[in-house]
Amino acid sequence: MKFMIVGKGSAETEAGALPSQELVDNMHAYNEELTRAGVLLAGEGLYPSSEGAQIAYTGGKAKVIDGPFAEAKELIAGFWLIQVKSREEAIEWALRVPVPPGHDGIGLDVWRVFDASDVPDESLPPEKLDREKALRERLGADTPDETS
């Protein structure tokens, strides 16, 4: 099973403040733990919303809204994509994310990632199944294994 651990933004991350060296070191150690355990698929920090955009749809038409966006606590500051055996294991890893003292209210979301391997092969017509498998191979996506 794949899960995404999403780190919430704060006024500091939205202002573009860089984390302390201590937090950077703690995050590197955490990422190394995830890697040694063989569960880390990806993980990155994100720039403030002023560097991004949202796309809103009205009446089937897209409108681009440039950042920054309101409510920093509703924004994402970074993420980890992990592959584990259960929701409980994903939560255990999320509880180990280093959070500096004094950052009450900053939280994490843990979301299960919908994966093509979650759809039974027999529910897809053979041509769509073949197309999906070929796309995953081209992208270098992980094939389901014993941890899925």
Question: Does the pLDDT at position 148 exceed 50?
Answer: no
Pairwise CA distance, residues 120 & 116, whole Å: 9
Pairwise CA distance, residues 53 & 31, whole Å: 28
Instruction: Count CB neighbours of 84 within 10 A.
Output: 20
Q: What is the pLDDT of residue 89?
A: 98
20-62 confidence digits (pLDDT tens): 899 999 999 999 999 999 999 999 999 999 999 999 999 999 9
Beta strand pairing call for 76-83 and 40-45:
antiparallel
DSSP 69: -
67-87 confidence digits (pLDDT tens): 888 766 678 989 999 999 999
Cβ atoms of 117 and 45 closer than 8 Å: no
Tell me the fold of 2-113. Answer: Alpha-Beta Plaits (3.30.70)
Domain spans in the chain, listed from the N-terminal domain onward: 2-113, 120-148
Question: Does the pLDDT at position 144 exceed 50?
Answer: no
List, in sequence order, the alpha helices (H) in the chain. Answer: 11-14, 21-36, 87-94, 126-139
> What is this structure's pTM?
0.78
DSSP 119: S
pLDDT mean across residues, the chain: 85
Residue 109, both tokens: 């979301």
